[in-house]
């Protein structure tokens, strides 16, 4: 089963598209919340930060803003580095998941065929 309609199929209704967008949005938000949970747990455990400080650091790193607290332990520094790399990929993945249905609808509506010249 295909998640999207093929070029030969008609464009889905606005209601079906809104449902598709909601599903993709919920999936993306779930992915972000899991990533935020991993970051919060890691900062609390490895950097010995309070829950609020760990959450703040995880949220700031995940959105690309940068760390708030200075890492005082080697484990905290290593976790922060790995989480920063992961966060860059995770945020781009979220954006890609969110825009996939919009991009597909645009291509489907205009029947863009990249093979034609």
Contact status, residue 85 vs residue 15, Cβ threshold 8 Å: no
Instruction: Please provide the size of the chain in residues.
Output: 117
pLDDT tens digits, the chain, 117 residues: what are they? 467 777 777 888 889 989 999 999 999 999 999 999 999 999 999 999 999 999 999 999 998 888 888 888 999 999 999 999 999 999 899 999 999 989 888 888 777 555 454
DSSP string, 50-70: -HHHHHHHHHHHHTTS--SSP
Question: Which contiguous run of DSSP H or E holds residue 40?
Answer: helix 14-46
Q: Whole-structure pTM over 0.85, yes or no?
A: no
The CATH number that domain 14-110 falls under is 1.10.287
Nearby residues of 7 by Cβ (< 8 Å), 6 or more positions away: 108, 111, 113
């Amino acid at each position: 089963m295909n998640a999207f309609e093929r070029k030969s199929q008609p464009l889905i209704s606005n209601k079906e598209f809104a449902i598709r967008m909601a599903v993709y949005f919920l999936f993306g938000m779930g992915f972000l919340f899991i990533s935020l949970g991993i970051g919060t747990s890691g900062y609390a455990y490895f950097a010995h930060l309070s829950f609020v400080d760990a959450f703040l650091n995880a949220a700031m790193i995940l959105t690309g803003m940068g760390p708030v607290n200075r890492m005082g332990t080697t484990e905290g520094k290593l976790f922060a580095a790995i989480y920063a790399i992961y966060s860059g990929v995770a945020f781009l993945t979220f954006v890609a998941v969110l825009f996939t249905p919009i991009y597909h609808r645009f291509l489907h509506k205009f029947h863009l065929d990249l093979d034609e010249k």
